[in-house]
A and B are shown apart, each in its own frame.
Chain A
């Protein structure tokens, strides 16, 4: 503001001189002449891009590309660092059997971060550096000159801060170039003082409205709109959700008990749950041993039982002390135990330590495992040898 006070001409500081030209060719020629005259702080304006204008203006290459590149590479490297630190250092976790530092799976994320950082920083740089935010108004804004440019005008504005600028000479020079309309443009106070600009009620008003509108729309979109029809088409199903009553059945249960005296397909009633003595007494292995059954038993044993019991059922656990180590299945009491015990232990677990495998292993396969354990036991303690002793 002090600038204005110092200014003798009625408190107004000159921004520059604008000149309108008749058509793009004249603009290109004028721009070349302006460069030749030695002006540096000037710009050419037109409603659409004009071929050859940038070369006539002898524009240097913009460095915005470097901003994008550096920001993009930064984004990619930050993600790599983050992924490496979280997955290999802070919380090493094997995912999908891959090494901790699984670089191929980071590449899509690195790419995305590169795009995100690159795009956001490019836009931010454009706004900050080229438009000078938080300055929110430009001297040319709202002038007759700019209104014409955004319609059908072609023009040049030379700024007063240019070293070769002289109010009278520059004006005469532009007129000589064949400009149709030459005008002086002055600053407004808020274009000089940052404080005025930021505290401008219009500016604050727009920012507040935009902030409320975007956050409100986001909140509504994510929290309310998605729960309205038709966006809920996938979850709107004629079914009874957990913890709700069925409107259809008088008793309110959606699951119906089986009709008395029937058994569902694939299900067999099992009466010996958690009752090993009964299981031992009343159950016999209904599956006949064959090569296929033995192989099935071996496969299932290796998958489900061997991590704790060892491949040979001798208690050579691979869990390395992270779980109670089970006893060898070759001890006498277990060798002589009937098949029912094994079936029951697989089905319902043991003493709350060994978990139940009823969900993973179908009934017949449980019996196949029992056959395989029998084979392992026989291999460790062949009856022939025992007899010989």
Chain B
């Protein structure tokens, strides 16, 4: 076994362009967000909801991948773990994003209207869960738990860079094993609160799994994009091989299929059951311009990436991976748009300043945080005992 030299010069040196792009997008995003609130505060609130969902799903999805690596004791991905840790760095900022929305809950969430309780018996039944105090507790609790696990896991991982203490890996395996069920429950709460309750009468028991599939897919796409770009430009501290690419591509492919499986399961059961409280979600999305968006979502997040990734050479090709990752991030944004915006306007698919702000701000936040974290930390976990073996990886 040959040990690979780690380029110390590239360890903490992300190309300037990442930070610059991040800040530009962030500033533009903030400006557009403010603008959108001035123009149409209701529309803008829904736009910011999309931003929150996008940033949260990418962030916690990345933490999930970090956890999965520890729990499964995966070796091949050790060199690729840091970018995901950096992406998860958005988690502490989620509460800031959520704050303006918490002040505008009456605009976004129909269930906050007391009048609904009088006319809708279903809302009376749901009231013990869907009420403002409990919602606030849940939101803060969910973000706090994510942040707690983020803090603990990432701290151990970073300390290992200097201490080279193998015990830290064992600790993180335990932490990650604890995180998995916590993640399952908190992501369920998050998706019910911030997405499902937008249509308070509707429910779907598979919905959280749906959000999960999109979340880990988007996180994987973001990670793949950055890793492949850096490695191709020779800015990654170690040399990754097409075999590493293949695994990234295989994960993307797997979750593209998983996403479609869950979306279709939800759709088919509700379509077949044809119950009012279930179909009310799909009826607006199957008519008018929303029908076009629905088809676009199915094509963008399943059919097209499926064929783009299905062959083995495709999964190993850096060009293809970069393209598909960008594509999938756009598809994830479209998916969130499809989940949120029909609540704002059930007749026509709107596109305005709020949507532009959503895209700019989401990317801005994630990229800025990524660039910031990459400056203060090593791009590969140099102290991880699995690192060298992971670089030797062959499929």
Report the minimum CB–CB distance from B271 to chain A (whole Å). 5
B312 touches A61 (CB 8 A): yes
Question: How many Å from the CB of B352 to the closest CB on chain A?
Answer: 32
B268 touching A107 by the CB < 8 A rule? Answer: yes
Tell me if A65 and B264 are in contact (CB < 8 A). Answer: no
- Contact (Cβ within 8 A) B274 A104: no
Which B-chain residue is minimally distant from A65 (CB atoms)? B311
CB-defined contacts of B267 to chain A, threshold 8 Å: 104
Contact string against A for B residues 248-283, beta-carbon threshold 8 Å, 1 for contact and 0 otherwise: 000000000000000010011001101000000000
Contact, CB under 8 Å: B271 / A96: no
The 8 Å CB contact of A97, one of B268, B274, B313, is B274
State the CA gap A104–B298 with chains docked (Å): 13
8 Å CB interface, A212-247 against B: none
Write the chain A residue with the least CB distance to B307. A69
Known: A51-B394, A61-B313. A108 touches B268 (CB 8 A): yes
Question: A107 to chain B: which residues have CB within 8 Å?
Answer: 264, 268
| Closest-CB distance, B235 to chain A (whole angstroms) | 27
Task: Report how far A388 CA is from B268 CA in the complex, Å.
Answer: 60
Chain A residue at minimum C-beta to C-beta distance from B273: A96
A266 within 8 A of B: no
Cβ distance A46 to chain B, nearest Cβ, rounded Å: 15
Report A-chain residues with C-beta under 8 Å of the C-beta of B394: 51-52
**Is A105 at the interface (CB under 8 A from chain B)?**
yes
CB proximity of A166 to chain B, nearest CB, Å: 36
* Interchain nearest-CB distance for B247 vs A (Å): 15
Residue of A nearest to B270 (CB): A104
With A and B bound together, what is the CA distance between A96 and B312 in angstroms?
42
A104-B267 Cα distance, complex, nearest whole Å: 9
Q: Taking the nearest CB of chain A, how far is it from the CB of B246, in angstroms?
A: 13
Residues in chain A near residue B268, CB distance under 8 A: 104-105, 107-108
CB within 8 Å of A: which of B310-357? 310-313
Known contacts A51-B394, A52-B394; is A104 also within 8 Å of B312 by CB? no
Q: Which of A61, A69, A96, A108 contacts B274 (CB 8 A)?
A: A96
Residues of B within 8 A of A97 (CB): 274
Q: B311 — which chain A residues lie within 8 A by C-beta?
A: 65
Shortest Cβ gap from A108 to chain B (Å): 7
Chain A's interface size range is 10 to 19
Interface residues of B in 145-179 (CB under 8 A from A): none
- Which residue of A has the minimal Cβ distance to B264? A107
Total B residues in contact with A, Cβ cutoff 8 Å: 11
Alpha-carbon gap, A104 to B270, bound state (A) = 11
The residues of B that contact A98 with a CB separation of less than 8 Å are: 272
Say whether A104 contacts B313, CB under 8 Å.
no
How far is B313's CA from A65's CA once the two chains are assembled, in angstroms? Answer: 12
Chain A hits for B313, CB < 8 A: 61
User: B146 CB to closest chain A CB, in angstroms?
Assistant: 35
Q: How far is the CA of A33 from the CA of B314 in the complex (A)?
A: 29
Q: Which A residues lie within 8 Å of B272 (CB)?
A: 96, 98, 104-105
Q: Quick one: closest B residue to A97, CB to CB? A: B274
Q: Looking at the assembled complex, report how far the CB atom of A268 sits from the nearest CB atom of chain B, in whole angstroms.
A: 34
- Annotate A60-76 by CB proximity to B: 1 below 8 A, 0 otherwise: 01000100010000000
Chain B nearest CB from A107 CB (Å) reads 6
Cα–Cα distance between A267 and B271 once the two chains are bound (Å): 40
Interface positions, chain A 310-341, Cβ under 8 Å from B, are none
B2 to chain A, nearest CB (A): 13
- Rounded to whole angstroms, the CA-CA distance of A97 and B273 in the bound complex is 10
Query: Which residue of the partner chain A has the closest CB to B394?
Result: A51
**Which residues, 271 to 305 on B, are CB-close (under 8 Å) to A?**
271-272, 274
Q: Mark A259-274, 1 if CB is under 8 A from B, else 0.
A: 0000000000000000
A96 contacts which chain B residues (CB < 8 A)? Answer: 272, 274
Q: Which residues of A contact B310 (CB under 8 A)?
A: 69
Minimum Cβ distance to chain B for residue A60 (Å): 12
In the complex, A237→B310 CA distance in Å?
A: 52
Q: Tell me how far the C-beta of B310 lies from the nearest C-beta in chain A, rounded to whole angstroms.
A: 8
> In the assembled complex, how far is the CB of residue B249 from the closest CB belonging to chain A, in whole angstroms?
15
Q: Determine the distance from Cα of A104 to Cα of B273 in the docked complex, in whole angstroms.
A: 12
Closest to A95 in B: B272
Q: Which of B272, B310, B311 counts the most chain A CB atoms within 10 A?
A: B272
Q: How far is the CB of B379 from the nearest CB of chain A, in Å? A: 27
Within 8 A of B (CB), among A1-60: 51-52
In the assembled complex, the Cα of A65 lies from the Cα of B307 at a distance in Å of 13
CA distance A375 to B86 in the complex (A): 74
> What residues of chain A lie closer than 8 Å to B312, measured between beta carbons?
61, 65
Distance between Cα atoms of A61 and B394 in the complex (Å): 17
Docked CA distance A42–B373 (Å): 53
Distance in angstroms from B296 CB to nearest chain A CB is 18
B269 closest partner in A (C-beta)? A104
Bound-complex Cα distance A96 to B273 (A): 9
Closest to B243 in A: A51
CB distance from B250 to the nearest CB of A (A): 14
CA distance in complex: A108, B272 (Å) = 13
Residues of B within 8 A of A65 (CB): 311-312
In the bound assembly, the distance between CA atoms of A98 and B268 in angstroms comes to: 12
**Cβ-neighbour of B271 out of A51, A69, A104, A108 (below 8 A):** A104
B309 CB, min distance to chain A CBs, angstroms: 13
Nearest chain B CB to A361 CB, angstrom units: 24
- Complex formed: what's the CA distance from A98 to B274 in Å? 9
Can you list 5 A-B pairs with a CB-CB distance of less than 8 A? A51-B394, A61-B313, A96-B272, A104-B264, A105-B268
A residues whose Cβ falls under 8 Å from a Cβ of B: 51-52, 61, 65, 69, 96-98, 104-105, 107-108
Chain B interface (Cβ < 8 Å from any Cβ of A): 264, 267-268, 271-272, 274, 310-313, 394
Can you add 13 more A-B contacts, CB < 8 Å, to A104-B264, A107-B264? A51-B394, A52-B394, A61-B312, A61-B313, A65-B311, A65-B312, A96-B272, A97-B274, A98-B272, A104-B267, A104-B268, A105-B268, A107-B268
8 closest A-B pairs by beta carbon, nearest first, are A51-B394, A104-B268, A104-B271, A105-B272, A107-B264, A97-B274, A96-B272, A104-B267
